[in-house]
Structure 1
Amino acid sequence: MKQKLYIMEIMVRHLVIVTCVYTALNIRINWEFTVKKFLTKNRSRERTLLLKNMKYSEL
């Protein structure tokens, strides 16, 4: 009986660790993706503004 409890405890700990690592990785990947998306959106907006402000002869 004690051995079964010990095995269960190890399994639960393992599950908790795996879940924590997976969640941390997921959050990091989502955060990086969001930052990249935000930066590229800003760059394209800046480019559009630059092009609008330029005269056609400068292009």
Structure 2
Amino acid sequence: MSIADKAKNVVQQTVGKAEEAVGKKTDDTELTAQGEKDQTMGSARQSVEKTKDALDEK
């Protein structure tokens, strides 16, 4: 996994956490859902990249 991809995934997760927190504080269910989605997407992308790395090592 390239460092740029890893950083991009972490940033997406962090932005998602922030969106979720703001959404909960403002009772904005759409923003909360977007934040949860961003976190999930960041985690999924990180998992895919880790799998690619593991396959490349073989």
> TM-score, structure 2 length as denominator?
0.53
- Unaligned ranges ≥5, structure 2: 1-25
Aligned to 1:48: none
AA matched with 1:35: E
AA matched with 1:24: Q
What is the percentage of aligned positions where both structures have the same residue? 3
Residue 30 of structure 1, CA deviation:
0.6
Matched, 1:9 2:58: no
User: Where in structure 1 do 4 or more consecutive aligned residues deviate above 6 Å?
Assistant: none
Structure-to-structure mapping, 1:15-34, within 5 angstroms: 15-34=37-56
Pairwise CA RMSD: 1.4
> TM-score, structure 1 length as denominator?
0.52
Aligned residues: 33
- Unaligned ranges ≥5, structure 1: 37-59
